[in-house]
Structures are given as structure tokens and as C-alpha cells.
Amino acid sequence: MRRRYVARGVPGGYQIWDNKVRRWWGDLYELCPDDLLDELNGARDPDKVTALLKRYRAARR
């Protein structure tokens, strides 16, 4: 099965690519957001996704 969301290396870090709509999703991340990708491709619980996004945004500062 093909994953909808994948992390791709870009200059400066990683970005999440959405294979369904064929565009970037979210922000630029310095570290690969593995647990965020697992949640987006798995259960897609909005509360968990929001918490993970907040954690990764705080790590950038």
C-alpha cells in the first residue's frame, strides 16, 4: 500500500509531501517528523496531530 504522506529532504530540513493532492503539506522541519507521519498515515486523530505539530513547531525555535 502506498503511503499518502511522506517526508522528503529539502534544503534546510524536511517537508511533508501529500501524494494524493501532489503538493507540500505543513511546515519545514529540521528533524524528520517520523511520529507525525505515522499518525497522518495511520489513525489521523486530530488531537494527536495538533499536539505533534505544536511540538515540532516549538522545536524549531
pLDDT tens, residue by residue, 14-27 = 999 999 999 999 99
Give the residues across from 15 on adjacent strands: 8
What separation in angstroms does the CA of 55 have from each of 1, 16, 20, 28? 28, 16, 25, 13
**Helices (DSSP H) in the chain: which residue ranges?**
34-41, 46-60
Q: What residue has cell string 494524493?
A: 20
pTM of the model: 0.88
What value does the mean pLDDT of the chain take? 93
Judge whether residue 11 has pLDDT over 70.
Answer: yes
> What percent of the chain clears pLDDT 90, i.e. is strictly above it?
85
Judge whether residue 61 has pLDDT over 80.
Answer: no
